[in-house]
A and B are shown apart, each in its own frame.
Chain A
Amino acid sequence: MSPTETADRSLTPLSPAVFVTGKGGVGKTTVAAGLAIAAVQSGQGAVFVEFGDGDSGERAFGKLPKNLKHVVLDPQQAILTAAAPLFGSATLAKLALGNFAMRPLIQSAPAIREIAVLEMVRRVVEEHPRRRVVIDMPATGHSVAWLRVAQQGRDLTKRGPIHDLCARVHRELIHPERSSVVVVTLPQPLVMNETIKLCGAIEREVGLRVDRLVVNHVPAMPPPDALSDALRVADELGVVATAAGELGALLTKRAATALAVDKALSQAAGERTATLTRLPLSPADPTARQVARWLTERGAA
């Protein structure tokens, strides 16, 4: 099986909200930005959501294209904004949450920060019904905890406004018909193993479907006869033959790794009707626009 990509246009379309996740360092942000740009280019318009300081979005886009909104969610601010309607007003929310006992409590209880951020994401999706909302998630492990928190909050509180808020986030956002999950990975055995575990955890513990498995930085295959040529030369005697043998060994090792990784990822994708999309390795870190083009060409955008 050759890992060259064949465009398959009959892929499951992505849902309005797209959570992009994966192990750190796999190029998650660039893929997320690429999915947003691809939606803009197809005329749909997009919102790119990131948690934190806004650094990664700025790095990925440079100048923001028209019809693309960049939303940065600050957890502290999200808590106040999400809580305002619960308490009746922002002032009352500030009073209750700023209470000397509640303030440190909220800072120490992780679930509160996470549910507030998810509620803000839900509102962004609601406010942009025609746009694709791409969410650049925290790295593996953390992302499963984030996505699970709505359901946990709902079950824990049983009733009341917090219960309703969690239930709404779960119903309107963390739902297979509302959200797609895109998992980004690399063609390396260890990264791949983590990715396959992550896919399982998202489905089992969160109840969302993984719609795309994007393998980033896939190196080009060497010319098909390079290996046989090298092995033929290696059959002779002398320094050249020894050198050719070493080249042959390197090519064999690389081919074996590539094949094993591709097979495992294809199987992981097949088990969950996710599409496996391979993006090529390029000399410099690819730009979000380049990634958007690749994703569109492969029908994965």
Chain B
Amino acid sequence: MKAPQVIVSAGGGGVGKTTTSAALALALARSGKRALVVSVDPARRLADALGVAVGGQVKPLSLDTGDGELFGLMPDPRTSMRAFVELLFAEEPEALARLLDNALYQVLEDAVPGIHELVSMALTTEAVRNLEIEVVVVDTAPSRYAIDFIHYPGRLAKLLGGRAVGWLAKLAQRGNTQKKGRPNRVERMLAKVMGSVVYDVAGLFAELALVRKRFVALTAQTSRLLLGPMSQYVVVTAPSAAAQADAEYWIKQLSALDLRPTAVLLNRALSPEYPFAKVLRSAPETTGSMHQVLNSLDEECRVREDATDRAVEVLSKRYPHVSQVALPYIESSDPREIVEALCGKLDGHLDALTA
């Protein structure tokens, strides 16, 4: 299998990250590639943005993609944990049954950060292999916690590989069998504070230790996909103070991890042209109210341009090595229309974005 190109898009909330990711993937497909767009954003907006069904299994999307092909994947975070443990425990049915019965597992079932991403990446790896995907666009969650998505699996794998698990397994056994033996001071303290749940906690990790090999293989796969030589990061932002703060946070975090972003996509940065405005301005038929509307359209454009200029200036000064792509503001209540318009704009930047 030839390693695919992977483009991870990161950024704050409300900047149009999902829409931009969808547009980028569509542009790549239209350039003749076999592309896959994956959204791990729990907001699950990918289907809305593209206006076609996208679900928890990799499926070709019914869109006009010219010479290439576009596949989509948007797993449901609420079923991710279950999918994940079924994948992990495929060869350990008894341990799986015990795990599903674990009180703590039942609480964590829809709440573990990182697992959703891990499952999504496992499905992505599989699709890359089976469907000969050439390029993957990953739309991440907007939260600053999303950076966990890179660290977390490795941390968990390390935990399962360490001597902590043996200690926890012993503790779990004590809880199950009331076996004699002298609990040490820390154990006694934990049991006193946490009550019986400490055995559930220990049990959960003891079961996970059984499938450590598979777990490590999965996390290694994810790391290869996200951190390999064919992976790159783009940061999506918009011209507002908060969005810019988020963008800078991401650029710094990613650079600290040696994943310096290749580009910043400045969404909603360029104003639309209103050709009618010029005609109406000099026409005697134009009424006072119409003039007022024209003035406020001008004002909107001016405000947007000022904000964009400020953002461009700050980003160029602080991060001169990160290239910038300014995208237009598309006024539409139809998300599909916005994706199409952005796709057209991104088409001219594909070389820079996939360099």
Q: Using a CB–CB distance below 8 Å, which chain A residues touch chain B?
A: 23-27, 29, 52, 55-56, 59, 83, 86-87, 92, 95-96, 99-102, 104-105, 107-111, 138-142, 145, 152, 156-163, 186, 189-191, 193-194, 220, 222-226, 229-230, 233, 236, 239-240, 242-244, 246-247, 250-251, 253-254, 256-257, 260, 283-285
Whether B145 pairs with A222 at a CB distance below 8 angstroms is no
Contact of B159 among A105, A141, A152 (CB under 8 A): A105
Contact of B290 among A191, A242, A244, A256 (CB under 8 A): A244
Complex interface: chain B residues within 8 A of A92 (CB): 189
Whether B145 pairs with A240 at a CB distance below 8 angstroms is no
Contacts known (A25-B14, A101-B167, A240-B280); A141 close to B289, Cβ less than 8 A: no
Whether A140 pairs with B43 at a CB distance below 8 angstroms is yes
- Residue B1 interfacial (CB < 8 Å): no
A140 to B14: give the CA distance in the assembly, Å. Answer: 11
Q: Which of B52-111 contact A (CB under 8 A)?
A: 77, 103-104, 107-108, 111
Interface string of B275-299 (1 = CB under 8 A from A): 1110110010111111011101001
Contact of A251 among B107, B238, B293 (CB under 8 A): B293
Complex interface: chain B residues within 8 A of A240 (CB): 279-280, 283, 285-286
Complex interface: chain B residues within 8 A of A87 (CB): 189, 193
A156 to B104: give the CA distance in the assembly, Å. Answer: 7
A190-B48, A229-B290 known; 7 new pairs, CB 8 Å cut-off, are A104-B158, A105-B205, A158-B196, A190-B45, A240-B279, A242-B279, A247-B276
Whether A162 pairs with B197 at a CB distance below 8 angstroms is yes
Nearest B residue to A96 via CB reads B189
Whether A108 pairs with B285 at a CB distance below 8 angstroms is no
Contact of B276 among A102, A189, A244 (CB under 8 A): A244
Whether B189 pairs with A157 at a CB distance below 8 angstroms is no
A104 to B77: give the CA distance in the assembly, Å. Answer: 23
- Residue B349 interfacial (CB < 8 Å): no
Whether A236 pairs with B205 at a CB distance below 8 angstroms is no
A301 to B313: give the CA distance in the assembly, Å. Answer: 37
Which stretch (B129-137, B217-225, B239-247) binds chain A? B239-247
Contact of A111 among B111, B189, B196, B299 (CB under 8 A): B111
Contacts known (A229-B289, A247-B293); A110 close to B112, Cβ less than 8 A: yes
Whether A159 pairs with B195 at a CB distance below 8 angstroms is yes
Complex interface: chain A residues within 8 A of B293 (CB): 222-223, 226, 230, 247, 251
- Residue B142 interfacial (CB < 8 Å): yes
A73 to B113: give the CA distance in the assembly, Å. Answer: 20
Whether B143 pairs with A24 at a CB distance below 8 angstroms is yes
A139 to B143: give the CA distance in the assembly, Å. Answer: 7
- Residue B26 interfacial (CB < 8 Å): no
**Could you say which interface size class chain B belongs to?**
35 or more
Nearest B residue to A26 via CB reads B14
A245 to chain B, nearest CB (A): 8
Complex interface: chain B residues within 8 A of A86 (CB): 193
Complex interface: chain A residues within 8 A of B277 (CB): 243, 247
- Residue B155 interfacial (CB < 8 Å): yes
Whether A246 pairs with B299 at a CB distance below 8 angstroms is no
- Residue B194 interfacial (CB < 8 Å): yes
| Secondary structure of the B contact surface, majority rule | helix
A114 to B298: give the CA distance in the assembly, Å. Answer: 47
A156 to B242: give the CA distance in the assembly, Å. Answer: 38
A52 to B333: give the CA distance in the assembly, Å. Answer: 34
- Residue B42 interfacial (CB < 8 Å): yes
17 contacts between A and B (CB under 8 A): A59-B241, A101-B164, A101-B165, A101-B167, A111-B108, A138-B145, A141-B77, A158-B195, A158-B197, A193-B48, A223-B289, A226-B289, A229-B287, A240-B286, A243-B279, A243-B280, A246-B274
Complex interface: chain B residues within 8 A of A55 (CB): 245
Contact of B111 among A110, A220, A284 (CB under 8 A): A110
Complex interface: chain A residues within 8 A of B200 (CB): 156
Nearest B residue to A198 via CB reads B43
Nearest B residue to A283 via CB reads B303
Q: Which of B172-201 contact A (CB under 8 A)?
A: 186, 189-190, 192-197, 200-201
Whether A160 pairs with B192 at a CB distance below 8 angstroms is yes
Complex interface: chain B residues within 8 A of A83 (CB): 193
- Residue B203 interfacial (CB < 8 Å): no
- Residue B335 interfacial (CB < 8 Å): yes
Complex interface: chain B residues within 8 A of A283 (CB): 299, 303
Counting chain A CB atoms within 10 Å of each CB, the highest count among B42, B277, B285, B296 belongs to: B285
A23 to B164: give the CA distance in the assembly, Å. Answer: 38
Whether A25 pairs with B242 at a CB distance below 8 angstroms is yes
A109 to B201: give the CA distance in the assembly, Å. Answer: 9
Whether B193 pairs with A162 at a CB distance below 8 angstroms is yes
Whether B285 pairs with A138 at a CB distance below 8 angstroms is no
- Residue B36 interfacial (CB < 8 Å): no
- Residue B12 interfacial (CB < 8 Å): yes
A104 to B168: give the CA distance in the assembly, Å. Answer: 12
Nearest B residue to A108 via CB reads B156
A244 to B195: give the CA distance in the assembly, Å. Answer: 73
Whether B240 pairs with A285 at a CB distance below 8 angstroms is yes
- Residue B228 interfacial (CB < 8 Å): no
A99 to chain B, nearest CB (A): 5
